[in-house]
C-alpha cells in the first residue's frame, strides 16, 4: 500500500490537522513562501515520491486560496507523488453552476477545468451547491453528505412535532433528503430576489403552526434569507426555529443578523473557519467523516457506505 501524506493549505489548517489526527497521522511539512508583492510559492519540506498525497483546502474568498491549492497540486506532481487528491471541504464559485441569463460565466465549470488542468487525480468535497457539478469533472469526485454529522445532533435534541423547511425552492431536494432521515414532512419558503443577497418578498408554502422548524441549506452567506424565513415561520405559529447549514460563509452583517434573529441556533460545520464568536452558532466538525473517506479511498472501499 502506498504511503499516505496529508498536507494543509493556509485556509484550512485547523480542519486539516483534525483530519490528520482522526486518520491517525500528522500533517506533512509544507512551506508557503511569499514574495514582497504577496506572490506565493508552496514547497514540500519532505519527500512525497510515490505517495498518495491529500491536500486539504477550502476555496472560499479570496480566490488566492484556489491559486495556492493549484500550486500545491503542481508541486506534488512535479515531486513525483503517485496520486494527488484534493480534499476541498467547501468549493468556491459553485453557486455559478448554470447559465441562468445571457452573457454570464459558469464559475463552477471554470474551477473544474482549472482543478483538472494541473493534474489532480481525484476530488473529495462536501455538499456542493448543486449535485450536477460533479458532471463538470472528468476525474472521480467523492461527494460527501454533511447530514452524516449534522443529523445526529438534531436527533439528540429530541424535538417533538419536527418539520424541515427549505429557505428557497431550489433547496427542496436537499431538504427532503434530510427530512427523510427523520420520517418528517417539509415546507418551502418561496422568495423573490431583486439582486444577489437582497430579497424582495417571501412566503411560506405549508403549515408550520405548533411545529419545531429546522431549515436546511448548503451554505449561509449574509444570513438575510435564513433570518427572514425564520421570522416568517414564527409569525405563522412555529414553536421554535433552527437552521442546519453545511458551509458557514457568514459574510458582512451575518453574525449581527443571527444574534438579533429568532433563530434558536445555527448548526453548521468547520468547512470554513469562523471569523468571530457567536453564541447562537454551533460548529460540528467534519474531520472524522473526511478522515474515514480518505481511509476508504486508500483501501479501495465504498465511499457511499459512509452516509447511505
* Residues annotated as part of the active site: 191
Q: In this structure, is the dihedral angle defined by the CA atoms of residues 203, 206, 208 and 211, taken in order, positive or negative? A: negative
Partners of 84 in beta bridges: 53
3-state secondary structure of 85: strand
Distances (CA, A) of 212 to 2, 163, 238: 49, 6, 6
DSSP string, 180-243: HTTT--EEEEEEEEEETTEEEEEEEES--TT-EEEEEEEEESSSHHHHHHHHHHHHTT-SEEEE
**Helix ranges, 33-171 (H):** 64-78, 107-117, 147-156
CA Rg value for the chain = 20
In angstroms, rounded to a whole number, what is the distance separating the alpha carbons of residues 274 and 175? 24
Distance of CA 79 to the CA centre of its chain: 29
In angstroms, rounded to a whole number, what is the distance separating the alpha carbons of residues 178 and 307? 12
Q: What angle do CA 122, 285, 244 make, to 5 degrees?
A: 100
Residue labelled with grid coordinates 415546507: 187
Amino acid at each position: 500500500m502506498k504511503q499516505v501524506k496529508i498536507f494543509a493549505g493556509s485556509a484550512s489548517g485547523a480542519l486539516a490537522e483534525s483530519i490528520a489526527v482522526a486518520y491517525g497521522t500528522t500533517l506533512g511539512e509544507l512551506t508557503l513562501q511569499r514574495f514582497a508583492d504577496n506572490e506565493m510559492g508552496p514547497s514540500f519540506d519532505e519527500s512525497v515520491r510515490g505517495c498518495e498525497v491529500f491536500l486539504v483546502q477550502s476555496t472560499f474568498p479570496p480566490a488566492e486560496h484556489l491559486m495556492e491549492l493549484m500550486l500545491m497540486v503542481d508541486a506534488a506532481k512535479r515531486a513525483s507523488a503517485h496520486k494527488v487528491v484534493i480534499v476541498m471541504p467547501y468549493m468556491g464559485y459553485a453557486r455559478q453552476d448554470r447559465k441562468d441569463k445571457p452573457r454570464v460565466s459558469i464559475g463552477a465549470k471554470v474551477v473544474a477545468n482549472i482543478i483538472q488542468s494541473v493534474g489532480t487525480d481525484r476530488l473529495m468535497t462536501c455538499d456542493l451547491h448543486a449535485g450536477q457539478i460533479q458532471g463538470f469533472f472528468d476525474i472521480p469526485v467523492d461527494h460527501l453528505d454533511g447530514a452524516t454529522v449534522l443529523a445526529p445532533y438534531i436527533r439528540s435534541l429530541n424535538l417533538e412535532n419536527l418539520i424541515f423547511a427549505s429557505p428557497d425552492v431550489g433547496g427542496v431536494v436537499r431538504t427532503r433528503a434530510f427530512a427523510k432521515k427523520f420520517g418528517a414532512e417539509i415546507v418551502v419558503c418561496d422568495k423573490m430576489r431583486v439582486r444577489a443577497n437582497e430579497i424582495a418578498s417571501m412566503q411560506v408554502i405549508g403549515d408550520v403552526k405548533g411545529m419545531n422548524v429546522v431549515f436546511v441549506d448548503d451554505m449561509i452567506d449574509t444570513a438575510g434569507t435564513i433570518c427572514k424565513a425564520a421570522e416568517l415561520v414564527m409569525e405563522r405559529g412555529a414553536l421554535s426555529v433552527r437552521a442546519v447549514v453545511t458551509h458557514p460563509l457568514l459574510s458582512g452583517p451575518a453574525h449581527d443578523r443571527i444574534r438579533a434573529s429568532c433563530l434558536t441556533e445555527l448548526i453548521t460545520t468547520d468547512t470554513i473557519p469562523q471569523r468571530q464568536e457567536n453564541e447562537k452558532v454551533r460548529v460540528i466538525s467534519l474531520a472524522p467523516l473526511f478522515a474515514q473517506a480518505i481511509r476508504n479511498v486508500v483501501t479501495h472501499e465504498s465511499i457511499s457506505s459512509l452516509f447511505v
